Structure 1
Amino acid sequence: MNSPFQDSRPRALSVSELNHQAKHLLETSFMQVWVEGELSGFSRPSSGHWYFSLKDRKCQVRCAMFRGSNQRIRELPKEGDQIRIRGKVTLYENRGDFQIIVEHLEPAGLGALQQAFEELKRKLQLEGLFDAARKKPIPAVPRHIGVVTSPTGAAIHDILTVLARRCPAIPVTLYPTAVQGKAATADIVRAIQQAQAHGVADVLVIGRGGGSLEDLWCFNEESVARAIADCSIPTVSAVGHEVDVTIADFVADLRAPTPSAAAEKISPDQREWSRRVDETQARLANAIRRSLQRLDTQMTHLTARLRDPRRELMDKAQRMDELDMRLGKAMTGILGQQELRMNHLKQRLLMQSPSRHLDHGRDRLERMRDKLHDAIRQRLDRHHDKLSHTSQTLHVVSPLATLGRGYAITRRERDGAIIRDASEVAKGESITTRLAKGDLTATVTGVHPPNEPAD
């Protein structure tokens, strides 16, 4: 029964329900966001995930960047860095913390550099500066190599090391330049022009070692790109590591993934040359020896031909007999092969005879009929056993079986209700008792509660 003082207040949400609904609302309201701010409270537990806050002068927001996403970040962010992130707004339900799941992270301002890169790339591409048709071929064996790079950087050291190993005879001229900073752009253009004016190099390597996008930016400047495009010397761009791509790579006549790779591409291998010279010398000696042997054989053959004509006729006659015998053997062999092939085709024809297939089908039909009869018989046996078992179970639980063991069912005469308690009938009331065989009708002469002895 309902209480007259039933609580009419609205149902209260559990904390879990509230947090779950808030999380769903946030994730459906914000598909993806870009946020910029100062990195704070950076932590990197053993799981490899990153946890930090992004803040400005007034507010902050918690962020989580899982290992699958942060593995693509080449440089570990530091406390106080100004960064831009892209991610999804959500709620960490266990603590009720509003947070951003970060999918991408970059230094603040990097997006502007990337946009400038793409705009200049499109501009120069439309002008045809990237076309393969305008690229000059790199000499297979350069007589003189020019290098435009820093005299103190790792790039010149790597280039000279590779050239000293592969072909130290090729002279190298360094045209020194800054490769980073505001002054580097004009410095690189000046070095390229100086190499052209010098006029000794027949291939020009332009590059530097790896670094961030900002470090490599001088190789993305339009003036550098046009200086490379206008250079009369075939150019090789060797900027950064394999993953780094600059405008200079597109404009140059050849792009090398690293300065070392550039030296590998433009220089012949002296050890390979020595091996090829040895192989060529050996092939030449073998060719001369074979030529002399062939001439000697021809002379011997011509000498042998200067003999009695009757001997020549005898040889021809013997040769004719040999050919005749070979022809007879060949014809016999061909006829034998044709006979074998015909017998094989006859055998295949017999194997494909309809009567053979019909016999096989009849045998298969008989086997299937026997299997069907066996399956039907087995299924009928299983159903018969199941029916017998069910009948026995029903008999065990049947009320009639209970009556057969001496029990009885008593009902009130007036309404037919089964009597389970003596207090359900009154003295003088008629009752009917069902036995295993037949019924009894009686009148109640006394009613005794369960704990009261009968008279």
Structure 2
Amino acid sequence: MSFPMHYFTDTPADSPETPAKALSVTELNGKARRLLEMSFNNVRVEGEISGLARPSSGHWYFTLKDKRSQIRCAMFRNRNQGLKFTPAEGMLLLVRGRVSLYEGRGDYQLIVEHMDNAGTGDLQKAFEALKMKLAAEGLFDITRKKPLPAHPKHIGVITSPTGAAIRDILTVLERRFPAIPVTIIPSSVQGAQAKNELVKALILAEAANQFDVLIIGRGGGSLEDLWPFNEEVVARAIANCPIPIVSAVGHEIDFTISDFVADHRAATPSAAAEILSPDRQAILNQLHLLRRKVTALIRHKLQLSQKELEGLQKRLRHPGERLRDSSQRLDDLEIRLKQAITLQLERARSRLNRTQYRTLQQNPLRKLELLRNRNDHLNQKMTQLMQNNLEKRRLKLEKVSGELNAVSPLATLSRGYSLTTSGEAIIRNSQQLKEGELITTRFHKGEALCKVEKLTP
């Protein structure tokens, strides 16, 4: 679509020598507005919404963009009240309206008459995809979030040193608790290099080893303006930082990936300063209360001490009376000491007598005599026992010998019998022998070697 070419002049075209009258800025903007409205009075545009603002007037102001361009848009209250949905950052819209120009600023804009939801924009899709990915990895889990210090000793602020966010943070800290040291770690918060600078600032803050809490953030803006805080490298750097981090990006309605992965999310940079700074007035009130309690406690203690002193003064007696009491007590102690010494001597004498008796009982010579007598007695008893035992064994041996003799082969031989053997075998039958075999015949007394001449069955 091309713009029609129109030229505005106060002189006829056929008199070029006549100089043209100069237009005021208001006149020029008015002519441009009328030209745009006449040429584009009913257009349909599709784009992703960004930077939506809804002031108290009820009008909506936002930007429609695609990958290469953007256009400012306005939708007045009488048009947006009939919508059945509320547009949100990153939403893809199909709008219908007319092209115009805001004469006060000379801004080219689209006056939206109607809009439809056409889906989700590319940035919003990327935001949701990264959010789901990091959530699945557990980077948003409550269990991994570090607690914030109750009374920070040193706050580090990662943001643009010239932005509104740092001014808001410093203003709140100055009002609430100016004694807290604050160090600004500068980083750009918008543009292609912002994500790298934010990561570098986090690394520097950790290496400094002096902060017990960090604030990372910026003021409000469109989704594109806040996008560095939706970058994966920034989210992972925040998750890996050992220092507790408060994410304070944009306004209360703005949410970034940094808000989810940080240890705490603040709606605004000012809110982050409110969260981290103790209320100076509240602390002063508490100190005043403690001072009153301590003063009352000291006053009560002094009153008790005063009463105790008065009681001691009443019990205080004349020195002469105390001296007589001390003298009498000394005499009493002297008598008790003598009695105690006498009693101790008697006890010592009794212990000495018992010790002497036990010593006599334990005399080595006496013990040796007792042992000698005991030894003689045991020797006599052992001799008697041995003799008795030997006698019993002799009688038992005679009995067993008689029994053995009764069944002994030798006793049989003494009655005229003989015992014939061939080698180790006893010959009981002539069939055990062979003619010419040598055999041994044992008699009651002696034995004879015989040769078998003839065998009779």
Question: In which range does the TM-score fall when normalised by the shorter chain?
Answer: 0.3 to 0.5
Q: Larger Rg: 1 or 2?
A: 2
Question: TM-score normalised to the size of structure 2?
Answer: 0.45
Question: TM-score normalised to the size of structure 1?
Answer: 0.45
